[in-house]
Structure 1
Amino acid sequence: MVETKLTQADFDAMREQYDKDPKNKVLQRSVMKNGINKTAKDNQTVAKLNHTYSIEVDTGKVSNQKRSGRCWLFSLLNVLKHDFAKRYDVKDFELSQSYLFFWDKVERANIFYDRIIDTADKPFDDREVRWYLEGPGADGGEWAMAVSLVQKYGVAPTSAFPESNVTENTTDLKEVLNRKLRRDAKVLRDMVHANKSDAEIKEQRHTMLKEVYRIAGYACGVPRETFDFEYRDDKQNYHVDANITPKEFFDKYFEIDLDDYTVLGNYPNLKMDQLYLHPAGDNVVGGKHVDFLNVEMDVLKQAAVESLKDGETMWFANNVSEQSDRQGGILDDALYRRSELFDIDLDMTKGQRLEYLDNIPNHAMTLTGVDIVDGKITKWKVENSWGEKVGEKGYFVMADNWMDNNVFQLIVNKKYLTDAQKALLDKEPIVLKPWEAL
Structure 2
Amino acid sequence: MSEAISSEQLSKFHQLIEDDPKSRVLERAVSKNGILTTSADFHSEVNMDPVFSIDLDTGDVANQKQSGRCWMFAALNTMRHDLKNRFGVAKDFELSQSYTFFWDKLEKSNYFYENVIKTASLPTSDRKVSWLMTTPQQDGGQWDMITAIIRKYGVVPKSVMPESYNSSKSNELNSTLNLKLRKDAVDLRELVNSNASSEEVASFKEKKLAEIYRILVYTLGEPPVKFDFEYRDSDNNYHIDQDLTPQTFFEKYVNWNLDDYVSIINAPTDDKPYNHMYTIEMLGNVLGEREVRHLNVDMNTFRQVAIKQLESGESVWFGCDVGQESDRKKGIMDTELYHKDELFDVDFSMSKAERLDYSESLMTHAMVLTGVDLVNGTPTKWKVENSWGDKVGTKGFFVMSNNWMEEYCYQVVVNKKFLPEELQKVLTEEPKVLAPWDPMGSLA
Q: Unaligned 5+ residue runs, structure 2?
A: none
1:224 maps to what in 2?
224
Instruction: State the alpha-carbon separation in 2 of the partners of residues 4 and 245 from structure 1.
Output: 69
Aligned to 1:281, the other structure's residue is in SS state: coil
- Number of aligned residue pairs: give it: 437
State the alpha-carbon separation in 1 of the partners of residues 34 and 172 from structure 2: 31
Aligned-pair CA distance for 1:198: 1.9
Output aligned runs, 1:145-224, within 5 Å.
Answer: 145-224=145-224
Structure 1 runs not aligned, ≥5 long: none
Partner of 2:322: 320
Q: Who is 1:53 aligned against? A: 52
Aligned to 2:359: 357
Matches of 1:11 and 1:362, distance apart in 2? 38
Give the whole-Å Cα distance in 2 for the aligned partners of 1:111 and 1:316: 25
Q: How much has 1:279 moved relative to structure 2? A: 4.1
What one-letter code is carried by the residue in structure 2 that aligns with 1:60?
G
Partners of 2:229 and 2:242 within 8 A in 1? yes
Secondary structure (helix, strand or coil) at the match of 2:267 reads: coil
- Partner deviation per Cα, 1:291-318 (whole Å, 9 max, x = no partner): 1100001101111111111101011010
Match of 1:338 in 2: 340
Alignment of 1:257-406 (within 5 A): 257-269=257-269, 270-406=272-408
Matches within 5 A, 1:240-251: 240-251=240-251
SS at match of 2:368: strand
Aligned equivalent of 1:105: 105
1:73 aligns with 2:75: no
Q: Which amino acid in structure 1 is aligned with residue 414 of structure 2?
A: V
Partner of 1:137: 137
- TM-superposed deviation, 1:22: 2.3
Equivalent-residue separation in structure 2 for 1:301 and 1:374 (angstroms):
15
Aligned equivalents of 2:427, 2:198: Cα separation in 1:
37
Are the equivalent residues in 1 in contact too, given 2:112–2:137 (CA < 8 A)? no
Q: What is the CA RMSD across the aligned residues, in angstroms?
A: 1.0
TM-score, normalisation: structure 2: 0.97
Mapped contact 1:279–1:289 kept (Cα < 8 A): no
Percent of residue pairs bearing the same amino acid type = 46
Question: SS of 2:241's equivalent?
Answer: strand
Mapped to 2, the partners of 1:133 and 1:212 lie a distance apart of: 17
The alpha-carbon distance between structure 1 residues 88 and 45, as it changes in their structure 2 partners (threshold 3 A), is same
2:431 aligns with one of 426, 429, 432: 429
Structure 1 residue 6 displacement after superposition: 2.1
Bigger mean CA deviation after superposition, 100-109 or 176-185 = 176-185
Q: Secondary structure at the match of 2:150?
A: helix
Cα drift, residue 137 of structure 1: 2.6
Deviation at 1:374, TM superposition (A): 2.1
Secondary structure in structure 1 of the residue aligned to 2:100:
helix
Mapped partners of 2:208, 2:48: distance in 1: 51
TM superposition shift of 1:28:
0.9
User: How far apart, in 1, do the equivalents of 2:262 and 2:281 lie?
Assistant: 16
Q: Report the 3-state secondary structure (helix = DSSP H, G, I; strand = E; otherwise coil) of the residue aligned with 2:413.
A: strand
Is the Cα contact below 8 Å between 2:316 and 2:368 reproduced in 1?
A: yes
Q: Which residue matches 1:123?
A: 123
Whether the 8 Å contact between 1:137 and 1:175 is mirrored in structure 2 is no
The one-letter code of the counterpart of 2:145 is M
CA drift at 1:342: 0.7
Mapped to 2, the partners of 1:197 and 1:304 lie a distance apart of: 50
Q: Secondary structure at the match of 1:247?
A: helix
TM-score, normalised relative to structure 1 = 0.98
Q: 2: CA distance between counterparts of 1:97 and 1:396?
A: 22
